[in-house]
Amino acid sequence: MTTATTTWSERTALAQESGRVSLICKYLPVTNHRGTRITVQRNDSPTYGKDPHKITVSWNYALGISGNYEQAVQTYLDGAKWRGIWKVATTHNGAVAVFVSEIHG
């Protein structure tokens, strides 16, 4: 039995086409050396290895809680060059973003 090796981009495209893509946003509290931050990465990163698009963004105190997570997700999507409609929901220690549908046109 032969298994085909796929690249991160190919797996992402397949997952996004099937609607099975989600992002995990983790809240990182302030430390002695860094301000509050948010990390964003693919939810399946442990399965497929390190997420090459993982980002850490600074907390924007001018935005609310959901606004910070939405902005962090949008920054991730822009860097990964992903399109589509995403929904963001907060959790007890961060947020999750799920792919809803492709933008056509």
Task: Locate the domains of the chain by residue range.
Answer: 22-101
pTM attached to this predicted model: 0.77
- Give CA torsion, residues 90, 91, 97, 100, to 10 deg: -80
Say if CB 77 and CB 57 are below 8 A apart: no
Which two structure tokens, joined as six digits, stand for 98?
């799920």
12-63 tens-digit pLDDT: 555 555 556 789 999 999 999 999 999 999 887 556 677 888 999 999 999 9
75-100 tens-digit pLDDT: 999 998 888 888 999 998 899 998 88
Amino acid at 50: K
